[in-house]
Amino acid sequence: MKHKVQRISTDLAERLSKWEQVDAITILESAEEDMTSPYFFISLDVFYKGDIPDIETRHRVFSDAGAFESSSYGKKDRFFIEDMPVRIEFKNLDRINHILELKPDVFWAFRDSGTYMFYRILTGKVLIQKNLWLDHIKQKLTKLPESFWNMLAISSQATMEHYLIDVKSAVVENDDFFYTTSLSGFLKSLSSLLFILNHEFEPSGRYLNKKLKKLKMLPEHCISRLDSLVIEDDDMTHERKADIAELLTKSVVPFIKSDY
């Protein structure tokens, strides 16, 4: 990590840690990117208990920030410090503890972003830690039961197959817009399933392709077929891509345990 990035990140973390509600603060891998890359930004996860200060209070803490803005529900702040983009996400401890109970009613939390929330917790580098809660959670994430992965596999397989049907239907109807959105959904759900089958947490979309290609267990021809779905080539028609998507689906199903 560059010295300037480290200095700014440490300063921001120290400001935030003065709030008694804050338990731990981590910095994510986007801060390791070259500062000229569009993928570079300082991303902090702030784990807290109780209630965080309101938007106006947080804005005052970062009075030296430029272009400060917050999400409508107040759990994400974005701004610039010394021309560096900063994103801060506030994570409630009770919510995380509840999700990690892995009861059937919590699996909605994985519907949109898969296991990315766990990826952030496990890979974030600690800047501030007031007790052992984060260590305990990270240890728990390395020992998730097989039933957890089974449940996610069932859900991801169903979603993948749903999108495959949509892709094929869009081809028949010559509906380019629906084809594009359906193919995007197919790629996302297939990628999620591949990480699940490898018992690995899913990274952000920026790193999804790079990390997917390093997975230990992949069906034969998986990477070349995935590449075929994203390239722009006159020979790679919508019909051909739909066929490849079906081949990918058929190739990954045998890796799913029969008791899933």
Please indicate, yes or no, whether residues 210 and 102 belong to a single structural domain of this protein.
Answer: no
**What's the structural domain count of the chain?**
2
Please indicate, yes or no, whether residues 70 and 28 belong to a single structural domain of this protein.
Answer: yes
Domain boundary, last residue among 109, 141, 173: 141
Tell whether 8 is covered by a domain. Answer: yes
What letter represents residue 75's amino acid? Answer: K
pLDDT of 61 higher than 60: yes
pLDDT, residue 74, reads 62
CA distances to 108, 249, 256 from 199, in Å: 19, 19, 12
Domain boundary, last residue among 81, 110, 141: 141
Q: For 73-116, how does the pLDDT look when each residue is reduced to its tens digit (9 = 90+)?
A: 768 999 999 999 999 999 999 999 999 998 888 888 887 778 99
Please indicate, yes or no, whether residues 181 and 203 belong to a single structural domain of this protein.
Answer: yes
Determine the Cα–Cα distance for residues 6 and 1; give it in Å rounded to an integer.
6
Q: What is the mean pLDDT of the chain?
A: 93
Q: Name the band, by pLDDT with cuts 50, 70 and 90, for residue 260.
A: very low
CA nearest 54: which of 39, 81, 36, 75?
75
Q: For 185-223, how does the pLDDT look when each residue is reduced to its tens digit (9 = 90+)?
A: 999 999 999 999 999 999 999 999 999 999 999 999 999
pTM above the 0.75 mark?
yes
Q: For 119-163, how does the pLDDT look when each residue is reduced to its tens digit (9 = 90+)?
A: 999 999 999 999 999 999 999 999 999 999 988 998 999 999 999
Please indicate, yes or no, whether residues 20 and 132 belong to a single structural domain of this protein.
Answer: yes
Please indicate, yes or no, whether residues 168 and 210 belong to a single structural domain of this protein.
Answer: yes
Domain boundary, last residue among 101, 117, 141: 141
Determine the Cα–Cα distance for residues 256 and 146; give it in Å rounded to an integer.
12
